[in-house]
Amino acid sequence: MEILLVCAQALWFILPALAPSSGAVLVGGGAPIDSGRKMKDGNRILGNGKTWRGLFGGTLVGILLGVILNSIALYIMDSPEWAFSESWGTALFILFLLAFGSMMGDLIGSFIKRRMGKKKGEKFPVLDQYDFLIGTSLFIIPFQSAWFLANYIDGLHIFGLIFILILIPLLHRVTNIAGFKMGKKEVPW
Ligand code: CTP
Ligand code: MG
């Protein structure tokens, strides 16, 4: 029972990092971050799929979702253990790290794809699914190590981490097919 709760919590806390890439698909477009520039290898730095609107819109979507989750935990469920933090200042900081880190991971992923000569939207297994988590980790581990350890490493929480690592590729598949069917994504991955 305890382990189910730990897994549910691990998923709950990662939602503000999971949402931004879907948010970027919905609100993205317009000027690309790399302004069309190429690197010496002849490929774009990031490509047309990485826009300013997507970066900021996606980050905002993740933070807003987190604000909703934190409010539910504090005011509806009355369970502080489901809150990112009982202090709204700390909660907003954690949410920023989760959401912005996620979008940074997405940029790192595209940067690596372009350096490997892969076109926008071309499949790159593992990196496509986990890039956001790499970005989130790069932000959350240095700045909120205690929060990270308490929720994803200590005791049974390590099973929560394993659970989301297994769930992510499945969720990725489902959301991308949805985005494709809505006509928001050119490819179903
Ligand atoms: N998007 C955006 N800005 C971002 C991230 C995403 O505008 N910073 C939008 C773009 O319209 C993009 C779509 O979300 O095409 C899907 O994102 P993603 O799958 O990450 O990009 P791809 O187009 O597949 O490009 P890449 O090969 O670089 O991953
Ligand atoms: Mg892609």
Alpha-helical segments (H) within the chain: 2-27, 52-71, 88-115, 127-143, 145-152, 157-181
- Residue 57 has what pLDDT? 98
Atom of ligand 1 nearest to the CA of 121: 24
pTM score of the predicted model? 0.96
186 pLDDT band, cuts 50/70/90, is confident
**Count of residues for the chain?**
189
Residue range 6-62, pLDDT digits in tens = 999 999 999 999 999 999 999 999 999 999 999 999 999 999 999 999 999 999 999
Choose one of 50, 104, 111, 114 to mutate for the ligand 1 pocket test, by most ligand atoms within 8 angstroms of C-beta. Answer: 50
Ligand 1 contacts CB of residue 106 (under 6 A): yes
Closest ligand relative to 184 C-alpha: 1
Residue range 80-128, pLDDT digits in tens = 999 999 999 999 999 999 999 999 999 999 999 999 999 999 999 999 9
CA distance 104 to 106: 5
